[in-house]
Structure 1
Amino acid sequence: MEIAARIRTERGQAMTDLLFYGLRYSVALALLILAVLTIKRIAGKKLTAQAHYYIWFILPASGAITWLSPWLTDLAHLLETILHDSFGLPALSSKSSESSLLAQAAAPNGVRDFAVDTGPAWHPFSETIAALALAVWATGALLMLSRVLWGLLKAHSLSKASLPPCRPSFDQQFFQCRGLIRLRGSLADRISLRISSCVSSPITLGFLRPHILLPPTAAPNSELRYILLHELTHCKQHDMALNLLMRLFLAVNWFNPLLHYAVRRMEQDREICCDDFVLNLLDPQERSCYGQAVLNWAAQPSSVPTPFMAAVGMGGRKQELYQRIKNIAAYEPSSPSVRWFSVAILTWMVFCALILVPSADGLSVQSLRPQPSLDMREVDLRRCFGSHEGSFVLYDAQQDEYMVYQEAAARRRVSPNSTYKIYGGLASLEAGNVTAKSSLRGWDGTSYPFPEWNQAQDLNTAMRHSVNWYFQSLDQSLGTQKLQDFYDLINYGNRDLTGGISKYWMESSLKISPLEQVMLLKDLHENKWGFQEQNIQAIKTSLRIAEKSGAVLSGKTGTGMVEGRKTNGWFIGSVESGTDLYIFALNLQGKDGASGRKAMEITQEILADQGIW
């Protein structure tokens, strides 16, 4: 029953995380579309027609940016933080009652385990709302995808029903145009010219074996030559495949109204781009004839709904046709400076996408990705854990080996609760807000149930008594942006502070796995980040618990209490003895009784069994 309940909880968390990420991405996508529209409007003729068209494909590319590789995901997350300040996006704040229940328990060796009841567990949305919203999204996406599939089947049936032209003059003109477009290799061989009674204006469909379909009224003349050049340009630019890509992207993001508008603009820019390419091939005196041919054929009503298939056609809306004719009449070849400027703008927009798109790492908050480089050994500690669900990680620095109990759980990210204070204190030390010798902060007179909290605190007493107000004060002094930068730098779990600056670590948005806790403590002992040594030592001193037989036990407990029940217990730390260093993290999960105190008791039993403490 306990495992089933945990699975339901994780499933609910996954749904809310997915919905939250989807909304964040939708907002970022809308901002990206507005950025594209603004650039296009300001730049105007300073951008080539190709740049006006291809800039739209930054949108589907944005959907893949944060999935490409771990290092790109990390880069996107780092750049994402700039967005929050630049655009003033508000962080979701975690609401809890002013009269939160407080509990405390005496832990072994004089360590106090203070647990603050945060009320209901933090979620950006309730599970019911998340489930309903995702169901609506999935229904819409399936409907849109079914239309795309229908379009592909329709395109296939049109191809099957079409016939090759009966007059050799058609093929002769087709091959002449193909040579002028400079189609070479397998693509040129795969393109075929067909006649179909199902179309009233020229259309190109298919992306593996493109077919240019002409209506039966078409005749081999100079006007048809212009139309063939236009359609072959679609083939050269792989517009059918790009159209399908954009339609699939629209199907997934159907709920974003700006994207529907962007796709319509993309279709218009695609035709203008092809017109521009053909005009560049023609003699100046032929350009007006090309415009007349476009006007004659594009004005024909199309009986084929091309938007949902791998197809592009000559037809278009009246306003779009008017814009095309205007561009044809005002055509001028692009200068080298315009082309270079276009390349620079496209590059800059890719950078904007990296900034605007939220990292998909937000969807991987549930667990740490596998680390093949880690030497890990599974151990059976069921006897020590008894009826408690949890995981344990022990790192032996001498052997450079990790000992793990319940690896899947050891990779699962959960709220750090008070264990975050190790790094909250380190962040303030590095920022100079406090120092090892001057870390005292006055008590503001607020009455707390713990006598230890109702007095001035320095780093050592605040760490020992787990004084929330002290570390919240440090965080407030730093500010959200500096905290975000720090957690990005040390790579702390999912690095998500959207739960609000005073509660993000307390059964809220910030999450970390036991394995990551050990890896971070290892980095702390090695000072991997190059911080000031006195700051590292100040944190290590504040974590000292006990010493015996030349060995020093250091650590920090943490307890997550939700609606009066202790559901998330931590004990992380180290044992140092001469040249030996052992770093550990134990996490307990349960409906109740999963406290930092219990985590410490189990850890001490394990360390004793291993002959470490």
Structure 2
Amino acid sequence: MDVFIFQLSEFAQLVFETTWLPLVIWTVISFGVWFFLQMFENVHPIYQYHTRLALIFSLPAGLLSLASIHYISDWITASAGDGLTMITVISPIDISFTQVEESSGIPFMVIVQSLAVAIFFSGMIFFLIRFCMHAINLKKLRKSLNYRPISEMTSLSPENRGLALATGKNVQVAFLNSEIIPVTFGFRKPVILLPDTLKSQPEKLNLALRHELTHITQHDFFSHLMVILTEAVFWFHPLVHRLKRELVEYREMRCDNIVLSEASVSRKEYASLLLELIPMPNLNKELSVNMAQESSNLKKRITMITQQSKTKPIPKQTSLILLGVIFISTALAMACTDMQTQNVFDEEELDLMTNIDKTGEQGFHEIIIYMSEEEQAERHESKLEQLRMLEPEHIESVHVWKGD
């Protein structure tokens, strides 16, 4: 058991040393962008949505890029052999000759680090189990439905028929004999669930279908799944949860704007439909993409629809460009910390090596320097010069190994 605890502690220390700076950089950038968006709530919903989406996805992308840089660096180092100039310094190891005391147990910091790892994995497993349970429930629901292709609906408007064809997918529609908020789920074979009451109201039926088909054309279900999985891994970060909650709100507002950008859509009828949805229950709102997640969100959307005289133009291209810029720049800023942290640790190790025991008062230490060529010493010449200043009586021995 003690060995396992020490292994957890070593793993925690390795992960912390690798990820703390990228996480800090992501937090600073994301909080700054998020705060700017909070200050300017009138920014178009599609900008609000895509910016938050870019921030969330840049977190795993940045860390994956960092891991890739480590892997490529190690591969280049291994393949370059003696031709690569490199210096590696192992921190001094205190081997002073004092009587060894029996261990009084596992050090406190080792226990703390082990608990941190255990808590992290426990939280991630909890979120993943919850995700799997929702996915199983949706699969069971799908099997219990009697649905048909949307193209076979006689009351489908020409606009919705064209939009369904534009999705390039075999969209299915099912009606439930209960009052529910219209909902969509499924990526390759999407299903739209609607309440039976809409069958007798063709105009509202087509408005609900228009909204759900817009979700399908925008691939909202797939992006929602990716956000949930990102939240499961980074559950410990409060900003991730906040961005996810706001994503849901602005996803629906963005969808409203896209639907209302069509001249044939009545604002009054659309707002009336949303108003009717307020008391209706939500079906698996955690995993599926609903027409309305929360009643408070519905009120805000209705206010936006009724107060605006006309819908703002949909800035699709510029919003996607903004998404790409924020995503790439944030991920690169995190990935480039690899060089910064490596320099920091190199300096820390050299400082330890040269400053910890110049007088020899603390006992003997072991210093190991690996080099392939003499030119490598140029980078650390100032630190190596401090080693040369050590008095001979403070050096127990010097060993030189040649070759591999």
TM over 0.5: yes
Superposed CA deviations along residues 414-447 of structure 1, whole A, max 9, x for unmatched, are xxxxxxxxxxxxxxxxxxxxxxxxxxxxxxxxxx
Q: CA deviation at 1:239?
A: 0.9
- The answer to whether the 8 Å contact 2:94/2:366 transfers is no
Q: CA deviation at 1:258?
A: 2.2
- The answer to whether the 8 Å contact 1:30/1:259 transfers is no
Q: 1:567/1:177 Cα in 2 relative to 1: closer, same or farther (>3 Å)? A: farther
Larger RCO, structure (CA 8 Å, separation 6 or more): 2
Task: Give the match's secondary structure for 2:371.
Answer: strand
2-side partners of 1:158 and 1:348: how far apart?
Answer: 39
Q: 1:288/1:233 Cα in 2 relative to 1: closer, same or farther (>3 Å)? A: same
1:181 correspondence with 2:166 = no
**Correspondence for 2:27:** 30
Superposed CA deviations along residues 178-213 of structure 1, whole A, max 9, x for unmatched, are 3342643642xx210012347622111111211001
**Correspondence for 1:63:** 60
Task: Give the match's secondary structure for 2:153.
Answer: helix
1-side partners of 2:291 and 2:372: how far apart?
Answer: 69
- The answer to whether the 8 Å contact 2:183/2:192 transfers is yes
**Correspondence for 1:142:** 125
- The answer to whether the 8 Å contact 2:179/2:280 transfers is no
Superposition pairs for residues 568-583 of structure 1, below 5 Å?
568-570=367-369, 572=371, 574=373
2-side partners of 1:72 and 1:18: how far apart?
Answer: 15
Pick aligned residue for 1:267 from 241, 245, 248 = 248
1:41 correspondence with 2:20 = no
Pick aligned residue for 1:17 from 14, 19, 42 = 14
**Correspondence for 1:249:** 230
**Correspondence for 2:350:** 505
1:152 correspondence with 2:132 = no
**Correspondence for 1:409:** none
Superposed CA deviations along residues 514-539 of structure 1, whole A, max 9, x for unmatched, are xxxxxxxxxxxxxxxxxxxxxxxxxx
Pick aligned residue for 2:154 from 165, 172, 187 = 172
Letter in 2 for 1:159: R
More helix by share: 2
**Correspondence for 1:231:** 212
- The answer to whether the 8 Å contact 1:151/1:306 transfers is no
Letter in 2 for 1:497: V
1-side partners of 2:7 and 2:294: how far apart?
Answer: 49
Q: CA deviation at 1:291?
A: 1.1
Letter in 1 for 2:131: V
**Correspondence for 1:306:** 285
Task: Give the match's secondary structure for 1:217.
Answer: helix
Q: 1:128/1:163 Cα in 2 relative to 1: closer, same or farther (>3 Å)? A: same
Q: CA deviation at 1:216?
A: 2.9
- The answer to whether the 8 Å contact 2:8/2:114 transfers is no
- The answer to whether the 8 Å contact 1:570/1:596 transfers is no
**Correspondence for 1:323:** 300
- The answer to whether the 8 Å contact 1:48/1:342 transfers is no
Letter in 2 for 1:132: L
Pick aligned residue for 1:276 from 249, 257, 271 = 257
**Correspondence for 2:269:** 289
Superposition pairs for residues 450-529 of structure 1, below 5 Å?
495-497=342-344, 503-506=348-351
Superposed CA deviations along residues 35-92 of structure 1, whole A, max 9, x for unmatched, are 33233235544x4432221222211233113424888789xxxxxxxxxxxxxxxxxx
2-side partners of 1:169 and 1:358: how far apart?
Answer: 47
Letter in 1 for 2:51: I
Q: CA deviation at 1:257?
A: 1.8
Letter in 2 for 1:505: L
- The answer to whether the 8 Å contact 1:31/1:356 transfers is no
1:54 correspondence with 2:42 = no
Q: CA deviation at 1:175?
A: 6.7
1-side partners of 2:39 and 2:246: how far apart?
Answer: 16
Q: 1:243/1:70 Cα in 2 relative to 1: closer, same or farther (>3 Å)? A: closer
Q: CA deviation at 1:566?
A: 3.9
2-side partners of 1:298 and 1:496: how far apart?
Answer: 56
2-side partners of 1:352 and 1:158: how far apart?
Answer: 41
Pick aligned residue for 2:203 from 222, 232, 242 = 222
Q: 1:42/1:342 Cα in 2 relative to 1: closer, same or farther (>3 Å)? A: farther
Unaligned 5+ segments in structure 2 are 72-91, 97-107, 376-394
Letter in 2 for 1:271: E
- The answer to whether the 8 Å contact 2:21/2:337 transfers is no
2-side partners of 1:173 and 1:596: how far apart?
Answer: 92
Q: 1:185/1:237 Cα in 2 relative to 1: closer, same or farther (>3 Å)? A: closer
Q: 1:354/1:224 Cα in 2 relative to 1: closer, same or farther (>3 Å)? A: same
2-side partners of 1:126 and 1:17: how far apart?
Answer: 14
2-side partners of 1:596 and 1:277: how far apart?
Answer: 77
| Bigger Rg over Cα | 1
Letter in 1 for 2:37: K
**Correspondence for 2:87:** none
1-side partners of 2:59 and 2:242: how far apart?
Answer: 17
2-side partners of 1:295 and 1:185: how far apart?
Answer: 28
Task: Give the match's secondary structure for 2:193.
Answer: strand
2-side partners of 1:247 and 1:260: how far apart?
Answer: 10
Superposed CA deviations along residues 357-391 of structure 1, whole A, max 9, x for unmatched, are 36584xxxxxxxxxxxxxxxxxxxxxxxxxxxxxx
- The answer to whether the 8 Å contact 2:173/2:192 transfers is yes
Q: 1:354/1:68 Cα in 2 relative to 1: closer, same or farther (>3 Å)? A: closer
Percent of aligned pairs with the same residue? 19
Letter in 2 for 1:262: L
Letter in 2 for 1:179: R
More strand by share: 1
1-side partners of 2:52 and 2:272: how far apart?
Answer: 28
2-side partners of 1:270 and 1:312: how far apart?
Answer: 10
Task: Give the match's secondary structure for 1:178.
Answer: helix
Task: Give the match's secondary structure for 1:218.
Answer: helix
Unaligned 5+ segments in structure 1 are 75-95, 104-124, 362-486, 489-493, 509-558, 577-594, 608-613
Q: 1:56/1:183 Cα in 2 relative to 1: closer, same or farther (>3 Å)? A: farther
